[in-house]
Amino acid sequence: MSGSGAGKRLILMGPPGGGKGTQAKRLQERLGIVHLSTGDMLRAAVAAGTAVGKQAKAVMDAGKLVSDEILVAMIAERTAKEDCAKGFILDGFPRTLPQAEALDKLLAEKGQKLDKVIEVTVPDARLIERITGRFTCAKCGEGYHDKFKQPRVAGVCDVCGSKEFIRRADDTVETVSARLKAYHAQTAPLLPYYRAKGLLEQIDGDRDMNAVTIDLERVLT
């Protein structure tokens, strides 16, 4: 990506299954800034059996939101690491108004600010199919979809050649409606919050992955 106007501290917002992770991974490579997914961090904590992981597991499986305290502490710690100095793309955080306010405070203390908040919009009706078809490479984390993005060679990861794939415990039809409810009730109020600050951009995520990436680049250049 060219242009000196490219933002450094970005938030990628959007509903569960809307394509945030897919696009954030692409942006990370183009912009040379790290992709911070709070969902990935929480799943790592669950897998490692940490205290946070133990608290978060049942909440995540129910499609509800983990507490603001846990999330704010997690992001404060992560963004203090050296690899975040050049900037970062937040994916899945903030998800509540108190999280957004805590982030503002955290950045202000370092004399930093957000450059842009981008909402990838996708209608609810599409998300069930997106979520229930999702799987990822167990080794490198590359994302795939049963219908929209299968590995080039069936059963083999395009990126690392691994033959092991995983599906998320919360990617079920039952959990999707709870996650969508949480999104509309708790996360959607962040849109007017960021619009009022002049930071919000919206792009149509209900299209081919590459078309979405092109729009994102246009917004960030």
Complex with ligand ADP: residue 113 or 207, whichever CB lies closer: 207
The H-assigned helical ranges of 110-172 are 124-132
- Residue 204, Ramachandran bin (φ over 0: left; ψ between -120 and 50: alpha; else beta): beta
Number of H helices, E strands in the chain: 9, 8
- The HSE-up count of residue 47 (CA atoms within 13 Å, CB side) is 10
134 is catalytic: yes
- Nearest distance from C-beta of residue 158 to ligand ADP, angstroms: 12
- Does 136 participate in binding Zn ion (rule CB under 5 A)? no
The listed partner (Zn ion, ligand ADP, none) that binds 140, CB under 5 to 8 Å by sort, is Zn ion
- Does 193 participate in binding ligand ADP (rule CB under 6 A)? no
Find the binder of Zn ion among 162, 186, 202, 213 (CB under 5 A). Answer: 162
Reduced DSSP (H G I as helix, E B as strand, rest coil) percent helix, strand, coil of the chain, to 5:
50, 15, 35
Separation of alpha carbons 54 and 48, rounded Å:
9
Find the binder of ligand ADP among 31, 34, 52, 65 (CB under 6 A). Answer: 65
218 is catalytic: no
Find the binder of ligand ADP among 35, 114, 130, 200 (CB under 6 A). Answer: 130
- The HSE-up count of residue 60 (CA atoms within 13 Å, CB side) is 22
Residues 6+ apart with CB under 8 A from 221: 1, 2, 3, 5, 6
Find the binder of ligand ADP among 26, 30, 141, 144 (CB under 6 A). Answer: 144
Stretch that binds ligand ADP, among 79-87, 104-112, 143-151, 190-198 (CB under 6 A): 143-151
Find the binder of Zn ion among 108, 156, 159, 211 (CB under 5 A). Answer: 159
Which residues are tagged catalytic?
Answer: 20, 95, 134, 168, 179
Given the rule CB under 6 A, which residues bind ligand ADP?
14, 16-22, 38-39, 42, 59-60, 63-66, 71, 92-95, 99, 130, 133-134, 143-145, 148-149, 179, 208-209, 212
Given the rule CB under 5 A, which residues bind Zn ion?
137, 139-140, 142, 157, 159-160, 162
